[in-house]
Structure formats: structure tokens, C-alpha cells
Amino acid sequence: MEIRLRPLVVAFIVLTLVGGLGYCALPRVLPLAAELGLRSAATATVAAPVVVPTGGPEVTFLDESLGWDWDATCAPQLRRFLAEKLPGRRISSLQVVLVDYNLDRVLPFGVRYPDQAGPQADANCYDLGPQTDGGSHYTCSVGVARGEPGADLDVAATLAAPYTLLDMFLARGANPNAVRQTWKWGTFQPLIAPLKDTENRWQSTCLRISRAP
């Protein structure tokens, strides 16, 4: 199995962040897994209960999209993910917002699942400045770039924001691509869980996305 990374655009995007913090990030796509079997033949593995770390960031999910709805109960999973993958980062609170995708909206990071031809959700995250506890408040916008409702789009939408945060904080230094190559689908547990009796197939544990009525 080969897992690859592929740029979404070829330009550096300079983001001016509220509170005077800015960063420059080259848009990237989460490593893409090879297509492995049919989802209809798979059954879900029961995920272990999520242990929420004490003192973790407050996480909320909002829906500001006119074209899409989501049922997102990922706050405890995302808090655990941040505690395990980004320990010591001063993230006091995180807001993840479903928005409508359009060309005027800057969403440079993207996730396609299960492969390059799969549904795609794009995202961007911003530091909105320091809080009273010394940490920062982050907000992440997530938009559906392509695809139809189903388990594959659920995975892409679930991982768009956490992948963006991981890239923002960790993909730095002389060879950031070397860092990204260490990320596999399993890196993003407990937000996703493996499907029973399949090889490297995953389902979202906490999010379902559908078209708005």
C-alpha cells in the first residue's frame, strides 16, 4: 500500500490572523490510501470509549452552511486527539464550522477519502488570539469540495480540521514533507475507526454529513 501527499494549489497563502499572529502555509492534502474493497461488504468495529483529557480545550461544532448539514458529536474525540498529538500547545478552545465551499473562500488544506478520486473536504484554521488563561482560541472552517453523502464523505469531513491543525503545528522545519509522510489514517483515531474484516478501511466515529433539505 502506498500513501501519498499531493498539493491542492501551487501558491503560498499569507494568512493575517486576528491578534497579530500570522503564518504562511503551502496547501496540502492528507496522504491518500489506496482504494480497498467495497464499503457495502464491511461492518463497523465497535470503537473503545473515548477518554476525555482533563483540562483539554473546549471544542464546539457549528453549522453555517446553506447546502449541507452535519450531525457532529466529535468534541471528546477531538479533545483526545489534540491532547495526544499536540501536547503542550496553547489551544484553549476550538470551534469547527461547516461552511459552504466557494472559490472566494480560502480553504487550502484538504482530505480525500479513500483515494484521489474520493469525496473531498477542505479546511482552514485561524488563531483568533490569546485568551485570559494564556492560550489561544482557534476556529476551523470546513467545506465540502466534492462528493455525495455517505461514509467516505463522513471520513473526509471529520478529518479536514484535525489534519489542518496537525499540519499547521508540526509540518515545519527543513523537510516538512518528511513529517507528513509519517501520518497514516490510523493517526487520526479516535475520530475514525477501522472497519471490521477490511484492510485499511475506516469510518467516522462521530460525524454524519448530509445535504440540507
**Residues whose CB is less than 8 angstroms from the CB of residue 37 and which lie 6 or more positions away in sequence, other chains included:** 198, 199, 201
Determine how β-strand 207-211 pairs with β-strand 68-72: antiparallel
Query: What percentage of the chain carries pLDDT values higher than 90?
Result: 63
pLDDT score recorded for residue 55: 56
Residue type, position 91, single letter:
I
Residue type, position 105, single letter:
R
Query: What percentage of the chain carries pLDDT values higher than 70?
Result: 74
33 has pLDDT over 70: no
> Could you tell me if 207 and 151 are in contact, meaning their C-beta atoms sit under 8 angstroms apart?
no
User: What count of other Cβ atoms lies within 10 Å of the Cβ of residue 101?
Assistant: 18
pLDDT score recorded for residue 8: 37
21 has pLDDT over 80: no
Identify the weakest region by mean pLDDT among 7-21, 95-109, 160-174, 175-189: 7-21
pTM, to two decimals:
0.76
- Distances in Å between the Cα of 37 and the Cα atoms of 1, 82, 151 are 13, 31, 14
Set of cell numbers at residue 39: 464499503
Tens digits of residue pLDDT in 174-199: 899 999 999 999 999 999 999 998 88
